[in-house]
Amino acid sequence: MKAGLNLIEASVLLENNETSSVELTKIYLDNINKGKELNCYNTVSFEEALKEAESSDKRRREKKSKSRFDGIPIGIKDLFCTKNIKTTASSKILSNFVPTYESTASQNCLNAGLISLGKLNCDEFAMGSTNKTSYFGSVINPWKSKNSDAHLVPGGSSGGSAAAVAADLCIASLGTDTGGSIRQPASFTGTVGLKPTYGRVSRWGIVAFASSLDQAGPITKTVEDAAALFEIISGYDSKDSTSSIKQKENFYDNLNSSVKGMKIGVPKEFKSDDLPTSTQKAWDDCKKLLQENGAELIDISLPHTMDALPTYYIIAPAEASSNLARYDGVKYGIRENGKNLIEMYEETRSIGFGDEVKRRILIGTYVLSSGYYDAYYIKAQKVRSLIKSDFNEAFKRVDAILTPSTPSTAFEIENEPKDPVQTYLNDIFTVPVNLAGIPAISVPFANDENNLPIGLQLITNSFEEQKLLNIAKNVQDTINYTPNLDKWWIK
């Protein structure tokens, strides 16, 4: 069987009885074993996955499959609570936590018969864009620069989810995206990453980072897979008050790749002399391609783009500082005893959280403090609404917006800038989308001069994922990007 199956290919093989769920699952478990060095998984569910695969095969024999994807092995970011399976958010503080419940999004996958291979490494509490903040160590990007043997970051925070798909350690995966955490690692690994409209996928059972920004989505090999997996995980959930009551849509069946007559906006604020030539070229090539396929290019302005990052770094830490208060050593997770309650808190949280998480809790606590609240939090909320209205204005004129996903391709793990603000700049193209609550997708477009993948980002208005996926498919089908990935970790 060909390596590197995608969701659709696997479903066809299963349907034609050319493989079984057990066979597929074994292959991927074996891949996981061989790919240990990549450090993609925090927890691998060897036994559970095989047991579930057997059940799936039985269902298929009895023509009782739960969906056409029944039996396909996927990976789940370690931020989704999974029943009876350790869920750590890649943090020491939750390193022993086993939920008694299953997140809605992952439950939706199980309801479709998908097999969970295990829990994918990520930045601690999804805070980071390198995967280096994980308590369980960095995920290694399966891609390497042409001229160097150095390990590269896979991006973050869903670095494990992206790297695992790229390296065939699962067929598809679930990630979450608060400021780019799906799209940036997808871009760094040559995979497709979709951040849906806020409210499309239930947040119930997902360890919260910044509640008003968090949104789960798929990381896959193809746009078709993204449509299929998105369709599976989306839908109204009464357990999440911010869940959209919009009907579930048949994103996969309704896919088409026509862009004829569509207006594609190109925001001038995203242009920069600092953009690597190859990224600039990819962006230009894509514009040309869309134009050739019948779309119209329109220059647009998103005037508050440069305010997005500082706004994000007020709102996200503010919410996080409150969301992470529950990790206090009292109820679950690790506890370091102290002489009194305060000491116990201090010890537990000092030891339990990593530096980046602490930094953001401190920032968040500060911006919500009395005397600073108006100057920071309230102001940030105002800017946020300006950013939203920028997009609203733009979407009066265009169907979608095209930008690079990231300002650079994957960089060396050891070369992460010392100044955290430099690292935060990784999210400069993705963050405005979260602030506006709209959907966006990162599609691999080309490789740069070092043979590292470049992703481009497409953005549409709220709940227009179908349009987004269609345009992405048009790009994908036209360029026919094939990752030319050397599996160096298999010795």
Partner 1 sequence: MINGWELVIGIEIHAQVKSNSKLFSSSSTDFGSGPNSQVSLVDAAMPGMLPVINKFCVEQAVRSGIGLNAKINNKSIFDRKNYFYQDLPQGYQISQFKDPIVGNGFIDIVLDDQTKRIGIERLHLEQDAGKSLHDQDPNLTFVDLNRSGIALMEIVSKPDMSSADEAVEYVKKVRSILRYLDTCDGNMEQGSLRADVNVSVNKPGNELGTRCEIKNLNSFKYIHSAIIYEAKRQIKLIESGESINQETRLYNIDTGETHSMRSKEDAHDYRYFPDPDLLPLEIENKWIEEIKSTIPELPDQKKNRFIKDYNLNEYDAGVIVSDKATSDYYEKVVKNRSPKLVTTWVTSELFSVLNKKNLSIDESPVAYDKLGELIDNIESGKVSNRLAKDIFEEMCEMGKSPGEIIAEKGLSQISDEGELEKLVNDVLIANPKNVEKYKNGKDKLFGFFVGEAMKLSKGKANPKLLNELLKSKLNT
- Spatial neighbors of 251 by CB under 8 A, at least 6 apart, are 227, 228, 230, 231, 465, 466, 469
With CB under 8 A as the contact rule, which of the stretches 247-255, 362-370, 418-426, 440-448 interacts with partner 1?
A: 362-370
With CB under 8 A as the contact rule, which of the stretches 99-107, 383-391, 446-454, 455-463 interacts with partner 1?
A: 99-107
Amino acid identity for residue 372 in this structure:
Y
The yes or no reply on residue 377 touching partner 1 (CB under 8 A) is yes
The yes or no reply on residue 240 touching partner 1 (CB under 8 A) is yes
Which of 45, 129, 181, 405 is catalytic? The answer is: 181
Tell which positions 211-230 bind partner 1, by CB under 8 A: 211-212
Question: Of 233, 242, 241, nearest to 102 (Cα)?
Answer: 233
3-class DSSP state for residue 263?
Answer: strand
With CB under 8 A as the contact rule, which of the stretches 40-48, 201-209, 278-286, 478-486 interacts with partner 1?
A: 201-209
Cα-atom radius of gyration of the chain, to the nearest Å? 21
3-class DSSP state for residue 486?
Answer: coil
The yes or no reply on residue 235 touching partner 1 (CB under 8 A) is no
Binding-residue pattern over the window 313 to 332 for partner 1, x denoting contact by CB under 8 A: -----xx-xx-xxx-x-xxx
The yes or no reply on residue 89 touching partner 1 (CB under 8 A) is yes
> Whose Cβ is closer to partner 1: residue 46's or residue 345's?
345
In the structure encoding, which two tokens stand for residue 29, read together?
């478990």
> Whose Cβ is closer to partner 1: residue 34's or residue 86's?
86
Burial level of 67, CB count in 10 A (0-12/13-18/19+)? middle
The yes or no reply on residue 370 touching partner 1 (CB under 8 A) is yes
Which of 65, 116, 138, 157 is catalytic? The answer is: 157
Angle between helices 465-479 and 277-292 (to 10 degrees): 100
Is residue 221 part of the annotated active site? The answer reads no
Find the binder of partner 1 among 241, 247, 480, 482 (CB under 8 A). Answer: 241
The yes or no reply on residue 438 touching partner 1 (CB under 8 A) is no
Q: How far is the CB of 236 from partner 1 (least distance, A)?
A: 13
Q: How far is the CB of 110 from partner 1 (least distance, A)?
A: 16
Q: How far is the CB of 73 from partner 1 (least distance, A)?
A: 23
Helices (H) and strands (E) in the chain, counts: 15, 11
The yes or no reply on residue 95 touching partner 1 (CB under 8 A) is no
Q: How far is the CB of 182 from partner 1 (least distance, A)?
A: 18
- Is residue 262 within 8 A of residue 296, CB to CB? The reply is yes
Distance (Å, whole) CA 463 – CA 388: 14
Distance (Å, whole) CA 154 – CA 89: 17
The yes or no reply on residue 362 touching partner 1 (CB under 8 A) is no
Is residue 287 part of the annotated active site? The answer reads no
Find the binder of partner 1 among 74, 81, 112, 459 (CB under 8 A). Answer: 81
Residue with structure tokens 């962006």? 283
Complete DSSP assignment for 406-470: -SS---BGGG--SSHHHHHGGGTTTHHHHHHT--EEEEEEEE-TTS-EEEEEEE-STT-HHHHHH
Is residue 67 part of the annotated active site? The answer reads no
Residues in contact with partner 1, total (CB under 8 A)?
43
Amino acid identity for residue 339 in this structure:
K
The yes or no reply on residue 334 touching partner 1 (CB under 8 A) is no
Contacts of 274-279 spanning 24+ positions with Cβ under 8 A: 274/407, 275/404, 275/407, 276/407, 276/408, 276/409, 276/448, 278/409, 278/446, 278/448, 278/449, 278/454, 279/404, 279/406, 279/407, 279/408, 279/409, 279/448, 279/454
Which of 11, 45, 77, 321 is catalytic? The answer is: 77
Q: How far is the CB of 328 from partner 1 (least distance, A)?
A: 6
The yes or no reply on residue 236 touching partner 1 (CB under 8 A) is no
Catalytic residues: 77, 157, 181
Applying CB under 8 A, the residues found at the interface with partner 1 are: 80-81, 87, 89, 94, 97, 99-101, 103, 203-208, 210-212, 238-242, 318-319, 321-322, 324-326, 328, 330-332, 341, 345, 365, 368-370, 373, 377
